């Protein structure tokens, strides 16, 4: 009723104004030629001109909205009663988790000591993506801030006319329990790190947990690290994509000479004789076998095939100047603010036909001029789990449920071979720690460890994994980075295993639908 009344009143206002406008035009029409008193016509024309000036000035302010709001934001430190009142009075929509149930809300209102406050049940666990925690105002990369417009938008037609409309609920793909578990595991390790969990079939981000204070950029999205041996998945994928033989024996000596002055050795300087195909290389994460494969592939298919394949999998090749601009379509989202702020730094590697042998060998084991982000690796692993179809990640539940269309980046057979190899890595290779945690659940985890060596600093540990349901279908991906956490088979694999176990304890059903 209020809405209708208010629109009727607007209509009356505009009607009278339009009538006045026509009145003036008619007056001018009558008097323009007939009036002997030209000064009145001139003053009337000036009046209309001023009305035009007013309109232009008013429209200019509306057009400059973002600049003005930015200015107000800067000057808000000197006091802004409007902002204070609006923020204190607003009732944003609730942020619901992947189940879309109210009891799984990630942000809602609760009375405390007579004051109703926005409450974030995950606390610090959600501070780096959802909101809340310490310094929520300075974290400009939370859903609470980046989706503020959506959360403030009136949810119903009736609310449109309200003085303080209640905002619309926003259902996100993040699952409360999994996110809490991921953060708890990271906190237990006590090292900086990030965990990203995705639904393999739709790209939904089911959990994101990262350490870092309010002033730091989101670690899982903006921070670079070499991927270490996780990148051997890409090398293996290219091997199979290029039609190279699967049953080939690959030498895995303790070390391999890549140039007259450079050698690459295995972890612990252990030689394994011959390994069977890429899978055989992946299971013990044999560096020397990977170097041999990379050299052989280069001879067979050329450098350009590497460049094209890596680009397809989300790793941007460059020759001289590393790309800095983020790729705009990384996320599947309706929010421009999210796209602007959360598009990750581009995963990138320096590779071309001019790449030297030493650097070529380093790249094959995920070292050298190679920078990736956790979400970048997660998207690549998601494409492996989704039978070769890469989907843009999303945190909006309705988008995740809306049958996303992805892009095939590798053959299904290649993806299957990689899945199988990853299962083997956990069963009898470097990822056994994660497999042990999953025992008794009926689910399986397959993965690949990675240890990124950084000069003068402790190694970063990676674990990129796929969680398989009891029927053997890949359902989720879990990617973990522990900065300075040592080898990937340690803390990173353990965290991934525990997160996966929490994940399958009550597998999330997006939107609560069966």
Partner 1 sequence: MSLRDRFRRERDREGPQGIAVSLRSHNRPGTPRAARRRGISPLLLLAIALSAIFYLLAHYSIIEGVWPVHGIAPGAGSVLFRDAVAWIGWLLLLPALRLLGYRGNWAVVVIPIVIFFLARPALFQLFSDPVYQARGEARFEANALKAERSQLTTILRTYDDERLSSVFEDEVPVLPEPIEAVREATGSDGRPGSRLSSALSVMLAPLAVLLGFVLATRRGALRWFRDHREIPFAAALGIFFVLTTFFVELGRVRGTTPWELFLPIFIGAWAALLADDAYNLARPGAMLAPRRILVLLLYGAIPIVPFLIIRELGLSVVLAGSLATMLLVGTRREWWAGLMLGVWVVLVVAAFNLDTRSQTRLQLAIDPYRDLSTMTVPEAESWAAAMHQFKLFDANILAGGIFGEGPGRGHAETAPNAADDGYITTIAAQWGLLGTLSLVLLYSALIVELLSVAVRERSAFERSLVTGLAMLLAIPFWMSALGGVRAVPLTGVATAFAASGGAKLLASSFAIGIVAAISHRRVEADRLEAAGESMHARPEEQGVQIR
Residues 38-57 that bind partner 1 (CB under 8 A): 39-40, 43-44, 47-48, 50-51, 53-57
CB hemisphere CA count around 106 (13 angstroms): 35
Burial of 41 (0-12, 13-18, 19+ CB in 10 A): middle
**Residue span binding partner 1 (CB under 8 A) among the ranges 110-118, 286-294, 300-308, 396-404:** 110-118
Residue 47 backbone zone (phi > 0: left; psi -120 to 50: alpha; other: beta): alpha
Cα(335)–Cα(328) distance, integer angstroms: 12
Residues 289-308 that bind partner 1 (CB under 8 A): none
> Which of 110, 354, 428, 505 lies at the binding interface for partner 1 (CB under 8 A)?
110
Cα(175)–Cα(105) distance, integer angstroms: 10
What is the pairing mode between strands 170-171 and 95-96?
Answer: parallel
Q: Which is nearer to partner 1, 96 or 384 (CB)?
A: 96
> Which of 29, 137, 149, 164 lies at the binding interface for partner 1 (CB under 8 A)?
164
Q: What's the closest the beta carbon of residue 333 comes to partner 1, in angstroms?
A: 25
**Alpha-carbon torsion, ordered 210, 212, 217, 218, to 10 deg:** 10
Per CB under 8 A, 244 contacts partner 1: no
Q: What's the closest the beta carbon of residue 125 comes to partner 1, in angstroms?
A: 20
Q: Which is nearer to partner 1, 21 or 472 (CB)?
A: 21
Q: Is the alpha carbon torsion for 184, 188, 190, 196 positive or negative? A: negative
Per CB under 8 A, 18 contacts partner 1: yes
Per CB under 8 A, 168 contacts partner 1: no
Q: Is the alpha carbon torsion for 157, 158, 160, 161 positive or negative? A: positive
Cα(500)–Cα(508) distance, integer angstroms: 12
Q: Which is nearer to partner 1, 170 or 479 (CB)?
A: 170
**Residue span binding partner 1 (CB under 8 A) among the ranges 2-10, 296-304, 349-357, 372-380:** 2-10
Longest dimension (CA), the chain: 110
Cα(514)–Cα(494) distance, integer angstroms: 30
Per CB under 8 A, 273 contacts partner 1: no
- Interface size with partner 1, residues (CB under 8 A): 77
Q: Which is nearer to partner 1, 76 or 509 (CB)?
A: 76
Cα(321)–Cα(114) distance, integer angstroms: 57
Q: What's the closest the beta carbon of residue 111 comes to partner 1, in angstroms?
A: 5
Q: Which is nearer to partner 1, 67 or 458 (CB)?
A: 67
Per CB under 8 A, 163 contacts partner 1: yes
Per CB under 8 A, 455 contacts partner 1: no
CB hemisphere CA count around 401 (13 angstroms): 15
Residue 121: strand, helix, or coil: coil
**Residue span binding partner 1 (CB under 8 A) among the ranges 60-68, 137-145, 285-293, 308-316:** 60-68
Q: Which is nearer to partner 1, 53 or 454 (CB)?
A: 53
What is the pairing mode between strands 316-318 and 348-350?
Answer: parallel
Cα(157)–Cα(138) distance, integer angstroms: 33
> Which of 97, 98, 104, 108 lies at the binding interface for partner 1 (CB under 8 A)?
108
Q: Which is nearer to partner 1, 118 or 223 (CB)?
A: 118
Q: Which is nearer to partner 1, 109 or 407 (CB)?
A: 109
Burial of 152 (0-12, 13-18, 19+ CB in 10 A): middle
Residues 62-101 that bind partner 1 (CB under 8 A): 62, 65, 67-72, 74-75, 78-82, 84-86, 88-91
Buried b (16+ CB within 10 A) or exposed e, 14-34: eeeeeeeeeeeeeeeeeeeee
Q: Which is nearer to partner 1, 2 or 420 (CB)?
A: 2
> Which of 59, 270, 412, 509 lies at the binding interface for partner 1 (CB under 8 A)?
59
**Token representation of residue 94:** 């609730």
Q: What's the closest the beta carbon of residue 221 comes to partner 1, in angstroms?
A: 29
Residues 111-130 that bind partner 1 (CB under 8 A): 111, 114-116
Q: Which is nearer to partner 1, 47 or 413 (CB)?
A: 47
Phi, psi of 128 (to 5 degrees): -90, 5
Q: Which is nearer to partner 1, 72 or 188 (CB)?
A: 72
Residues 131-160 that bind partner 1 (CB under 8 A): 155, 159
**Token representation of residue 282:** 């992946």
12 Cβ contact partners less than 8 Å away, ≥ 6 residues apart: none
Per CB under 8 A, 165 contacts partner 1: yes
Per CB under 8 A, 21 contacts partner 1: yes
**Token representation of residue 198:** 């995705």
Residues 387-426 that bind partner 1 (CB under 8 A): none
């Amino acid at each position: 009723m209020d809405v209708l009344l208010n629109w009727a009143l607007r209509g009356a206002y505009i009607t009278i104004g339009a009538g006045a406008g026509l009145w003036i035009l008619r007056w001018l029409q009558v008097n323009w030629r007939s009036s002997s008193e030209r000064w009145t016509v001139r003053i009337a024309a000036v009046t209309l001109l001023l009305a035009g000036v007013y309109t232009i000035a008013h429209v200019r302010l509306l057009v400059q909205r973002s600049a003005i709001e930015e200015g107000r934001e800067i000057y808000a430190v000197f006091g802004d009663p409007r902002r204070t009142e609006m923020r204190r009075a607003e009732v944003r929509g609730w942020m619901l988790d992947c189940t879309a149930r109210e009891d799984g809300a990630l942000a809602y209102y609760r009375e405390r000591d007579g004051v109703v406050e926005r409450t974030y049940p995950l606390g610090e666990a959600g501070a780096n993506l959802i909101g809340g925690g310490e310094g929520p105002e300075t974290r400009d990369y939370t859903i609470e801030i980046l989706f503020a417009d959506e959360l403030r938008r009136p949810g119903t037609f009736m609310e449109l006319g309200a003085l303080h409309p209640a905002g619309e609920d926003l259902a996100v793909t993040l699952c409360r329990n999994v996110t809490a578990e991921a953060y708890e595991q990271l906190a237990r390790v006590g090292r900086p790190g990030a965990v990203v969990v995705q639904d393999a079939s739709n790209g939904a981000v089911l959990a994101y947990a990262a350490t870092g204070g309010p002033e730091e950029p989101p670690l899982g999205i903006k921070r670079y690290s070499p991927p270490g041996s996780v990148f051997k998945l890409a090398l293996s994928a290219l091997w199979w994509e290029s039609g190279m033989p699967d049953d080939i024996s690959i030498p895995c000596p303790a070390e391999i000479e890549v140039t007259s002055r450079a050698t690459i050795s295995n972890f612990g300087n252990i030689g394994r004789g011959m390994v069977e195909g890429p899978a055989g290389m992946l299971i013990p994460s044999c560096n020397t076998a990977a170097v041999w494969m990379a050299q052989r592939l280069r001879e067979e298919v050329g450098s350009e095939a590497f460049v094209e394949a890596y680009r397809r999998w989300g790793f941007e090749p460059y020759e001289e100047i590393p790309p800095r601009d983020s790729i705009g379509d990384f996320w599947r989202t309706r929010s421009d603010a999210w796209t602007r702020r959360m598009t990750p730094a581009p995963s990138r590697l320096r590779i071309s036909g001019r790449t030297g042998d030493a650097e070529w060998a380093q790249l094959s084991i995920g070292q050298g001029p190679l920078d990736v982000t956790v979400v970048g690796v997660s998207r690549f692993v998601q494409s492996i789990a989704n039978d070769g179809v890469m989907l843009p990640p999303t945190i909006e539940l309705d988008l995740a449920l809306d049958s996303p269309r992805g892009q095939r980046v590798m053959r299904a057979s290649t993806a299957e071979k990689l899945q199988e190899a990853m299962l083997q890595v956990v069963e009898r290779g470097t990822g056994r720690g994660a497999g042990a945690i999953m025992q008794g659940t009926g689910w399986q985890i397959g993965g690949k460890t990675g240890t990124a060596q950084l000069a003068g600093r402790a190694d970063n540990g990676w674990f990129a994994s796929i969680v398989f349901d009891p029927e053997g279908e890949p359902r989720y991906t879990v990617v973990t980075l522990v900065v300075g956490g040592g080898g990937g088979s340690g803390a990173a694999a353990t965290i991934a295993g525990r997160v996966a176990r929490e994940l399958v304890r009550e597998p999330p059903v997006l939107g609560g639908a069966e």
